[in-house]
Structure 1
């Protein structure tokens, strides 16, 4: 048996609870109750496992398929590696929930609470943890700062008197509610009031809070930051943000506005630090636009681009560039159809043209997405060709490496070229699979030097950063110096 360390994620359609990939072959994690090859003491530590690296011993097997024998492996558990920093958890009635996955902040007053971003990170939101946060509280208003699903995926569970969001965010959530036939979400949206970035949030008159919004760059338009004034504190909520946009002008405007905010003392700053361990500033979005443009210029056949369908500005600019170059464009998948409707771009009805640029869903290997169905030829919306160039204009969500690697393994022999973002080969485990790297994605979150600059400008007395996991929190402590960092369990702020 060969002993290796592999990243395991949900097994999905393969029938395993946890699965990985080794040299292009499936690895299923053994779950036999009394397996002689597994370390059963270590297996007890898998309780609450959400995906990650495991040390296993591999036993190869062969299984027949329609056209050949296929090798797969059973992984027998040797050791669950220790995490450097344990995730922040809450425990209630014997149920554990992961605080670090909450994108939510609750502002509490004697007259009621204001909820900011009722969402949880990950494909399977931690409903119990979210419900514990809001349990027993009178929610008089809810604010959704932008349209990403993990910032509103529990909006349908919030008994809020009013909901504030931008026009684009309202459109995105409305389309999702119709697609999912979610009647609770539809009811929540009936209470929605539109607020554009830069406008105040009009709360009840007797509520002792004033909230102003301001525009922030992120990977989705109409993202809002918040300036919150209460009787006890002045809070700046940046949430998910970066300093840069497509060009340097946006960065200058954002920094200038932060200096305006800093003219009054900031008691608490709340922000996402998921990229605190990455050196430098977040690059300009224009870097990605140029890189993808260069790929399209050189491509002999079709160019297929998979990305987050909410990255509307990138999709719009690449679509317009493709049309300038005489290439028709096409959108496949529900999310991309939504994007096309919001952007109002002219599309080509057929994907057969050799020069077509095709935007498809499935950058995270979502089951039943357009790219996933094309890879496995399950009523595929797109017949892949050896002349196709496939671009993953995204980064892998942590914990999703195994399923994404499996998808790329299935796609590799079907297309001529696969291009992923810088560092994705190592993160996803694509070594030896003949994939190329290029700067085809820019994150929507600020990196180390940008976060350092924000702290230097705002000079907050306290900071509530999240997620407080390794290596992000260690890097952020270095940036913060002597500023007090609140534990991320403190999601309820008395204001």
Structure 2
């Protein structure tokens, strides 16, 4: 930390992930030899990251300072806040503190990764207090689209650093307690050194609607859908939405069936922790579903984002083993498409409509509300906390910039507001703030079981394959004489159709033969040299003829006989 020019009397604040982006939320508060980490999230890959499953932060700084890390505290159980926990714990066996629901989800993840036995896990409540030698941590209840959400206050010798987590001010939540405005105001009265606040909806004016508003809309849909089944798709983590759908089903005499692995897990956790209350006898299995009249059933499933393998997508394209669309079915998308998912969602909607379903989606039907506060709620948080310094988090740059402007409107001086990037370090005392250096905090790609095995070269090759195709060049060369004993043969995949491209491929074989001969006739049988010449010569020829750059892979068999 000294390399970052942080003085002994300063508290350092930084984002390992979550700044300038939506996702990867991982923040650190450090005083001398103690670090408190807040959240460890993932980001879902954009379309250009072909084959990448998740994106996590680069943990190298944390690994180098692992002996200083006293706790990982979790604000709530969404993937962009807990998805990175198993990957972090593979390097740093730090104690994890989380609410009951988030902890249940974390345990499932650690079990899958084989890390559960050695993990140090502690369940917290909003009134929990964590005490360390130089810092302590308290919590305050917030509301979001998942139960058990808390904000975090890290109390340092310089003052309190408050991280809000994801929040909105929902005063009429469905399944959990309202936000603790009194505790937030108390933190503000006692003095907040720096506020780190969720910026997701900073571009949207007004207030985010309560979950109870959606509850009324769901009831109206059930009132009107009198003839067929209702298929209800939402986020598995949105237990409030699931509860509202179940309550509407029970009041209309409908039995409830659950489909999708994550939805089943959410049901189990929600019931176990008391957030989901479904009367005995209301839940039925897939087998029982077929014995019940269509207008007496509700199917709750995953797939509201058009995910190809989710239950709703398989129902829509006819590949689900147990459910197919019937006339008079009503399908409800109780979510808004995440940016990047709109095309997938529209594809599923079109397939459902073609099969005869009545599909209800979009803002006009009032069946979704955000879990993130809008501008007026962000201003309210600022007024309650009254921070001396402000650092917006959880948002792209334009969102952070707007949030800073709102902070200034709420009385935070311009020079006390800091828009940071991942790896930037903000050093604070009771009266001062400054940028105190930077550490590497880029992206690490998760591909299957591999962590960081996929680099930019691999992604470039994948992009090339997806757009331009592949050409294999296979040849057998006598390593003593240098003569070509077999081939070269060209095999095309995704580049040209071989049966219709005989002349092109034949000329390509001649190019490759000449490239090999140009070296071997002079006694050069080095495979690296031969492959390089093949690629250069064939690539030039194919581009001249097709204006395309396929990925060219030479495979040389060197015969010693």
After superposition, where does 1:11-30 map in structure 2 within 5 Å? none
* 2:62 matches 1:130: no
Structure 2, unaligned runs of 5 or more: 1-14, 46-52, 272-277, 429-561
**Contact 2:41/2:85 (CA < 8 Å) preserved in 1?**
yes
**Contact 2:234/2:302 (CA < 8 Å) preserved in 1?**
yes
**Contact 1:307/1:360 (CA < 8 Å) preserved in 2?**
yes
**Contact 1:245/1:285 (CA < 8 Å) preserved in 2?**
no
* Displacement after TM superposition at 1:402 (Å): 2.4
Q: Find the counterpart in structure 2 of residue 32 from structure 1.
A: none
**Contact 1:215/1:224 (CA < 8 Å) preserved in 2?**
yes
Q: 1:218 aligns with which of 144, 150, 159?
A: 144
* 2:107 matches 1:195: no
Deviation digits for residues 54-81 of structure 1 (CA, Å, limit 9, x no counterpart): xxxxxxxxxxxxxxxxxxxxxxxxxxxx
Q: Distance in 2 between matches of 1:213 and 1:255?
A: 12
Q: Find the counterpart in structure 2 of residue 375 from structure 1.
A: 316
SS of residue matched to 1:107: strand
* 2:361 matches 1:420: yes
Structure 1, unaligned runs of 5 or more: 1-88, 92-96, 423-436
SS of residue matched to 2:151: strand
Relative to structure 1, is the Cα distance of residues 470 and 191 closer, same or farther in structure 2, using a 3 angstrom cutoff? closer
Q: Distance in 2 between matches of 1:398 and 1:315?
A: 23
**Contact 2:74/2:97 (CA < 8 Å) preserved in 1?**
yes
* Displacement after TM superposition at 1:257 (Å): 2.9
* Displacement after TM superposition at 1:464 (Å): 1.8
After superposition, where does 1:85-104 map in structure 2 within 5 Å? 101-104=23-26
After superposition, where does 1:64-463 map in structure 2 within 5 Å? 101-123=23-45, 124-127=53-56, 129-138=57-66, 139-158=69-88, 159-178=92-111, 181-184=112-115, 186-187=116-117, 190-201=119-130, 203=131, 205-206=132-133, 208-247=134-173, 254-300=180-226, 301-344=228-271, 345=278, 346-349=282-285, 350-352=288-290, 353-355=293-295, 356-422=297-363, 437-463=364-390
* Displacement after TM superposition at 1:99 (Å): 5.7
SS of residue matched to 1:262: helix
SS of residue matched to 2:237: coil
SS of residue matched to 2:233: strand
**Contact 1:108/1:493 (CA < 8 Å) preserved in 2?**
no
**Contact 1:332/1:381 (CA < 8 Å) preserved in 2?**
no
* Displacement after TM superposition at 1:154 (Å): 1.3
**Contact 2:306/2:345 (CA < 8 Å) preserved in 1?**
yes
**Contact 1:140/1:160 (CA < 8 Å) preserved in 2?**
no
**Contact 1:142/1:160 (CA < 8 Å) preserved in 2?**
no
* 2:430 matches 1:489: no
Instruction: With the length of structure 1 as denominator, give the TM-score of the two structures.
Output: 0.71
Q: Distance in 2 between matches of 1:169 and 1:468?
A: 22
Relative to structure 1, is the Cα distance of residues 382 and 248 closer, same or farther in structure 2, using a 3 angstrom cutoff? closer
**Contact 1:102/1:119 (CA < 8 Å) preserved in 2?**
yes
* Displacement after TM superposition at 1:245 (Å): 4.6
SS of residue matched to 1:105: strand
* Displacement after TM superposition at 1:332 (Å): 0.6
* Displacement after TM superposition at 1:471 (Å): 4.7
**Contact 2:233/2:304 (CA < 8 Å) preserved in 1?**
yes
> Which region of structure 1 is more displaced relative to structure 2, 245-254 or 336-345?
245-254
Q: 1:478 aligns with which of 361, 382, 405?
A: 405
Deviation digits for residues 305-338 of structure 1 (CA, Å, limit 9, x no counterpart): 1111111122123212311221111111111111
**Contact 1:99/1:489 (CA < 8 Å) preserved in 2?**
no
Q: Find the counterpart in structure 2 of residue 19 from structure 1.
A: none
* Displacement after TM superposition at 1:242 (Å): 0.8
Greater Rg, structure 1 or structure 2?
A: 2
**Contact 2:147/2:175 (CA < 8 Å) preserved in 1?**
no
Equivalent pairs, count: 380
**Contact 2:198/2:395 (CA < 8 Å) preserved in 1?**
no
* Displacement after TM superposition at 1:140 (Å): 2.4
Higher helix share: 2
**Contact 1:199/1:212 (CA < 8 Å) preserved in 2?**
yes
